[in-house]
Copies of this chain bind each other. A is one copy, B any other.
């Protein structure tokens, strides 16, 4: 019997190193499935269906939401974005974990979804606001106004840190990576996620079976 897969939610303000951490985690364990979002916005040149996004019409997207087929969704500038539930459930049955790179609003919706108890959520913080601003400035020649708006968005995201199970302060990316792996490894050892306990254990007290 497979271990039941879990939902690993990674959130952070942009510039805190979340994408790098996600990539490193998936390189470490290729069985982890990355949750690809569905969206109603048109594909851009080079974007691949099912890899970058699932591209859907407004009607199809709305139908999926109404059927309970989205774990979370949101509207951004007139387009919808969301996390389809079916591929996550498929991965869970196969004993594979799904990684979500989403913001606090998406995380909150997934925690409140029918799969909420399978969620492990991690918030990645920069070591300081000054360092975050340095990183945001460092990677593009943007105007002060654009930077200020991104910083405002970051502060808003950071204000939700306390809703997460774990908090990582990404001062050194290698340490943060190690901590991320440690969290996932430990969560896989939780009683209700055990791959296959010896038969004599399950036989002993079926009244405690939770799944």
Contacts and interface: CB of A to CB of B under 8 A. Distances in A.
A165 B191 CA distance: 6
A128 B210 CA distance: 22
Kindly state the interface size class of chain A when it binds its partner.
35 or more
Interface stretch (A18-26, A74-82, A88-96, A194-202): A194-202
B182 A194 contact: no
How many copies of this kind of chain does the complex include?
Answer: 2
A125 to B, nearest CB: 6
Given A129-B198, A168-B189, A186-B186, 6 more contacts: A126-B198, A161-B205, A162-B209, A165-B191, A179-B189, A182-B182
Contacts of A185: 179, 182, 186
**Chain A contact residues: over half helix, strand or loop, or mixed?**
mixed
A125 B169 contact: no
Contact of A159 (B182, B189, B191, B205): B205
Contacts of A198: 125-129, 169
A155 to B, nearest CB: 7
A164 interface: yes
Given A179-B189, A185-B186, A189-B179, A162 B200 contact: no
Interface in A101-142: 123, 125-129
A161 B204 CA distance: 10
